[in-house]
Amino acid sequence: MKVAIVRYNAGNTASVVNALGRLGVESVLTDSAEELQAADKVIFPGVGEASSAMRFLKARGLDEAIRGLRQPVLGICLGMQLMCASSEENEAECLGIVPLRVRRFPAGGLKVPHMGWNTISNLKGKLFAGIEEAAYVYFVHGYYVESGPEAVAYSTYGLGFTTALEYENFHAVQFHPERSGAVGERILKNFLKL
């Protein structure tokens, strides 16, 4: 199985490569549209800022390449947010794969970014096979995806927010499965079986 990880100006790609390696899966970190299209699975991870990430993707034609992927794709954290229509983070226009907006956590009372372990609930979809309700996963984010029909999991941090999306061949999680212990490992395994 050939797994490609999207390389763009965002952090956290090395920990995804390492997590796949622990599962015995080799991956290639690439910013080549051709390599992404040729892969069996594509992972779109990231920690960073939406508008600069979108500029990088557009400059290399990766925005069109990612939209056109037909194999299973997994967005992680910023990767999930960039799959949406737009983000309040510097008013970024995103990839528009799912017609949802990314919003900033409201100021006042909450420490932003939301960082640390939190539970996931209302689990639906293929990524969560064998995962129990209220399982703990690891988050680091200051923005969240609004609710919509594509949501397949939720969490609460001052307000309820979408934790995972599923739309056609695109899957995405706001948390970091590569940093979420056995639960995250199971989610990655479920993705690799798609």
Phi, psi of 35 (to 5 degrees): -65, -40
* Residue 46: domain span: 3-193
Residue 97: pLDDT above 80?
A: yes
Alpha helix stretches (DSSP H) within the chain: 13-22, 33-38, 50-59, 62-67, 78-82, 181-193
Interhelix angle 13-22/181-193, rounded to 10 degrees, is: 80
Q: What confidence score (pLDDT) does residue 170 get?
A: 98
The pLDDT of 62-91, averaged and rounded, is 98
Which CATH number fits the domain that encloses residue 116? Answer: 3.40.50.880
Which residue in the list 114, 141, 171, 176 is annotated as catalytic?
A: 176
Give 130-168 pLDDT, tens digit per residue.
999 999 999 999 999 999 999 999 999 999 999 999 999
* pTM of this structure: 0.97
State the pLDDT confidence band at 11, using cuts at 50, 70 and 90. Answer: confident
Q: What is the pLDDT of residue 109?
A: 83
When pLDDT is cut at 50, 70 and 90, the band that residue 108 belongs to is confident
C-alpha span between 23 and 34 (Å, rounded): 25
Read off the pLDDT of each residue in 29-57 and give the average, rounded to a whole number: 95
The pLDDT value recorded for residue 148 is 96
Active site annotation includes 84: no
* The one catalytic residue among 49, 89, 166, 178: 178
Residue 176 among the catalytic residues: yes
Contact 39, 20 (CB under 8 A): no
Residue 145, SS3 per DSSP: strand
Average pLDDT score over residue span 177-185: 97
Residue 191 has pLDDT above 80, yes or no: yes
**pLDDT value for 123:** 98
For position 73, what pLDDT does the model report? 98
To the query of whether residue 150 is one of the catalytic residues in this protein, the response is no
Residues 6+ apart with CB under 8 A from 182: none
81/99 Cα distance (integer angstroms): 11
- Spatial separation of the C-alpha atoms in residues 164 and 153, rounded to whole Å: 5
pLDDT at position 12, please?
81
For the segment 43-51, the average pLDDT, to the nearest whole number, is 94
Selected catalytic residue, list 77, 114, 150, 166: 77
Q: Which of 59, 52, 57 is nearest to 36 (CA)?
A: 57
Our count of domains for the chain comes to 1
